Amino acid sequence: MAARGAMKAIFSRLLGGVIPSIAVIVVLALLPIIGVPRVWLLYLFLFFLYLSMANMWNLLAGYSGLISLCPAAFIGLAGYTMTVMTWLGIPYYVGIISGSIVSALFAMLMSIPVFRLKGIYFAIGTLVVPEILRFVFLLWKPVGGAIYGRGAGYTVKGVAEVSQSQIYWSALAIGIGSIFLIRYILRSKLGRGLAAIRDNDGTAASCGINVFNLKLFSFVIAGFVTGMAGTIFYIYSGYIEPNSAFSLQWLITIMLATVIGGEGTEEGPIVGTIIVVFLYFFLAGYAEISLIIQGIILVGIMLLAPQGIMGFVRKTRPYQSLLKFVT
């Protein structure tokens, strides 16, 4: 009877989660091959990139209690690392990994001063970092001769032959990978430790949890994945310059996706990113005031539904009934 019950549980898990997930991934991977419209691939490309970034911000803000406002620093540094390496004759795919590592190392270095700050002071401390980097890169020309002028903008070399399908598959890989990474972390000892730190880091420390190490680990992971997403974006864009690489727009987009969907929930970034991609194209005709509109939406959601869409849905009776049925 015990063996039969175990087999039934395994079969139920496969049928209820693993098999449908694999089927969805396969279908998404086949979309470029079956010839779907190119604009669909663009929508999905941005969705997967923003999703990976939102998942990492959710890991920090939603599960670790770190309101980090510096994702643009990771994106810009990784993008510039990859781009400069292509100017030095190094293939872009090597630059993807190198840029991600540089972002992770920068996160580790940055943790030394900013982890001494707490709450709003930590948020402000991280907010100024992308602006400092933007100023540095406006004055510094990494390759191409002596230091001069303003605005170190570069085309990404060696990516002209990269097909849209290859770029799409790269974004799909990092988007799906970020989902599985979050699921693994939250179900591990690390995830339980982060939850304790988020609730009360003083209590967590008194229980023997190494608060600094867990925060550092999540910060470095977020830097690595966010940086990798940034390199893939700039392979698609083909050009990088300081004002966009270290722009506040990255932060607003990622925060919108997480807050709208539901901070501290696994499904929240997915739902929020769908809405953000829609807003991205809807507000394309309002470029001059798009940041203002997005800011108003962000503040409105935080006031009207502080737990986001999924936070609200989870409290409804149909969701609770569905959850009981699945489990």
Is residue 225 situated within a structural domain? yes
With contact defined as beta carbons under 8 Å apart, do 265 and 308 qualify? yes
Is residue 326 situated within a structural domain? no
| Cα 179 from Cα 147, distance rounded (Å) | 42
Decide if pLDDT at 144 tops 90.
Answer: no
Is residue 201 situated within a structural domain? yes
Domain that holds residue 223: 36-246
Is residue 106 situated within a structural domain? yes
Please tell me which residue, 256 or 299, carries the higher pLDDT value: 256
Is residue 224 situated within a structural domain? yes
Residue 53's nearest CA partner among 219, 246, 269, 211 is 269
Is residue 127 situated within a structural domain? yes
Least-confidence region, from 63-77, 134-148, 194-208, 251-265: 134-148
What pLDDT, in 10s, does the model give residues 154-175? 889 999 889 999 999 999 999 9
Query: Tell me, what's the pLDDT at 7?
Result: 45
What pLDDT, in 10s, does the model give residues 58-117? 999 988 889 999 999 999 999 999 999 998 999 999 999 999 999 999 999 999 999 988
Provide the token pair at 122: 């930590």
Is residue 27 situated within a structural domain? no
Please tell me which residue, 225 or 264, carries the higher pLDDT value: 225
Is residue 26 situated within a structural domain? no
pTM recorded for the entire structure = 0.88
Q: Quote the number of domains for the chain.
A: 1
Residue 77's nearest CA partner among 18, 152, 7 is 152
With contact defined as beta carbons under 8 Å apart, do 159 and 86 qualify? yes
| Cα 11 from Cα 7, distance rounded (Å) | 6
Query: Tell me, what's the pLDDT at 4?
Result: 52
